[in-house]
Amino acid sequence: MQIYRLRPISDDPRFEGFGWDLPGITNENGRTYDFTHFYPTTSRFAVPRLAKRWDKPTFTFQENVNPFNDFPCCDFHVPVFSRRAVEAVRDLLEPHGELLPVDSKFGLYYAFQTTTLAPGILDTKKTSGIRLDDNPNYFYDISQYHFYKSKLKSQKAAIFRIPEHPSRVLTGDKFRSRVESNKLLGFFFDPIWSDDGCVDRAKTKTNQKQFEKSQSKTLVLHCQLAGESPTNSERKKIAMLRDTIADSIILSTPDEPFVGGLAGEETESGWIRILMPCPQPDKLLKVVLPLFQAFTWKGEKKLSKRNVPYWDDSADDVWIMQ
């Protein structure tokens, strides 16, 4: 028997998730906090239910999502299931939470609010982590879990939280087996405990080097502005260009190689720059160059590459088109 922390794949850019910039329903810090930031200090805590106030929003950020990803979690922490995934695991989800529809360019997805709490299964004395000052039996973070094996036998929920640290969503072998038997993609079952001994989460790190390699270079699209900062019209044009590029780099299957993605923008000295992380700029250039050349823009257009990740502004531009 194993217990897992349910997470999305984070070390492969082909499985990037959604994002949103939406007001919170139960808090003032944003929609993600409605699902994740719970640090109770008493047993009276209950996960907030959202369905009655749910507004069926649209994901704000979806440029790098591929349609084969069945678990494109929002802001990394909010569980999001594809329709295909919901069809496969609905009977395991619905008794233990709320399926909340969110629209996207690929159609409907479902954010999931796990509401089932499994009290009494965590051995708080043996569990290691950062404890809350107000109640040391509750945790801000857990580095090593210890569960009572005897009490887990009566724990029937396929997906659940623990009241001592309810910010994380946990699951077991039954849920993992269902996901794998239906060949659903994008799930990472992070083992946190097994009945033959606890699992040190520090030893279950993802392959971060693989991800860093995919983001190691940057293709940069430069557009000259009419003034120091973009006008509303220029912002709309840039958004249209981003949408066109995003559609061109979508992968139909996970067997296709990742050529690049879209990151943020730089605005400086009358120019706006679109940053595109990639492993090999020349391969991404073959896709982007004809689109950028066809893009109608009043000011100058330039294109360059940088041999550093997009967040590193220390490298000089190697000009491709100017």
Residues 9, 187: contact at Cβ < 8 Å?
yes
The pairing of strands 139-144 and 197-198 is: unpaired
The matching CATH number, chosen from 3.40.1000, 1.10.1330, 1.10.287, 3.30.70, for 215-321 is 3.30.70
At residue 314, the pLDDT reads 83
Q: By C-alpha distance, which of 185, 187, 195 is closest to 69?
A: 185
At residue 202, the pLDDT reads 56
Half-sphere exposure of 158 (CA within 13 A, CB side): 15
The pairing of strands 170-172 and 159-160 is: antiparallel
- In the chain, CATH 3.30.70 covers 215-321
Half-sphere exposure of 258 (CA within 13 A, CB side): 25
Chain-centre distance for alpha carbon 233:
30
Cα dihedral across residues 173, 76, 206, 164: positive or negative = negative
Give, rounded to a whole angstrom, the gap between the first and last alpha carbons of the chain. Answer: 60
Alpha helices in the chain (DSSP H): 33-36, 83-93, 149-152, 173-181, 208-214, 232-248, 281-294
Residue 95 tokens read as: 């008794």
- Backbone dihedral region of 313: left (phi > 0), alpha (psi from -120 to 50 degrees) or beta? alpha
DSSP-assigned beta bridge partners for residue 224: 271
Residue 57 tokens read as: 């929003």
At residue 184, the pLDDT reads 98
Q: How far apart are CA 298 and CA 309, in angstroms?
A: 29
* Helix, strand, coil percentages for the chain (3-state, nearest 5): 25, 25, 50
Residues 265, 274: contact at Cβ < 8 Å?
yes
At residue 204, the pLDDT reads 58
**pLDDT tens over the chain, length 322 residues:** 899 999 999 999 999 999 999 999 999 999 999 999 898 878 889 999 999 999 999 999 999 999 999 999 999 999 999 999 999 999 999 999 999 999 999 999 999 999 999 999 999 999 999 999 989 999 999 999 999 999 988 888 999 999 999 999 999 999 999 999 999 999 999 999 998 875 655 555 666 777 888 899 999 999 999 999 999 999 999 999 999 999 999 999 999 999 999 999 999 999 999 999 999 999 999 999 999 999 999 999 999 999 999 999 888 899 998 7
Q: Which helix (H) or strand (E) holds 266?
A: strand 265-268
At residue 153, the pLDDT reads 81
